[in-house]
Amino acid sequence: MNDRMINITELRLRATGLSREDGQRLGTAVAHRLAALSMQTGRVREISNLSIQVRAPAGAPASIGRLADIVVDQIRRQLE
């Protein structure tokens, strides 16, 4: 694996408050965004588990796309 590649064997999202269909849409959106992510960590490492907690922004319900952006941003921050 080179230093610009992220390899995810399994991705699990627990999305309280979303329907099953919306949860699947969120998982797909996160996976697509992670696949397009370009990171340069400078090293190869294995992370067996990464846990993040994300809350939807207050106010109007967040779109699946916006939630996916928030999730990916949190994952990126932990990997850098």
DSSP annotation of 58 reads S
Which letter, b or e, does each residue of 28-64 get, where b requires 16 or more Cβ atoms within 10 Å of its Cβ? ebbeebbeeeeeeeeeeeeeeeeeeebebeeeeebeb
Q: How confident is the model at residue 15 (pLDDT cuts 50, 70, 90)?
A: confident
16-33 pLDDT, tens digit each: 888 889 889 999 999 899
Nearest to 26 by CA among 66, 78, 75, 74: 66
* Whole-prediction pTM: 0.75
Tell me whether residue 6 is in a domain: no
Q: What is the DSSP letter of 16?
A: T
pLDDT recorded at residue 29? 94
| Tally of domains in the chain | 1
Is 14 a domain residue?
no
Domain annotation covers residue 15: no
Q: pLDDT band at 45, cuts 50/70/90?
A: low
Domain coverage including residue 26: 20-79
Count CA atoms within 13 Å of residue 15 on its CB side: 22
Q: How far apart are CA 24 and CA 64, in angstroms?
A: 10
Q: Is residue 65 part of a domain?
A: yes
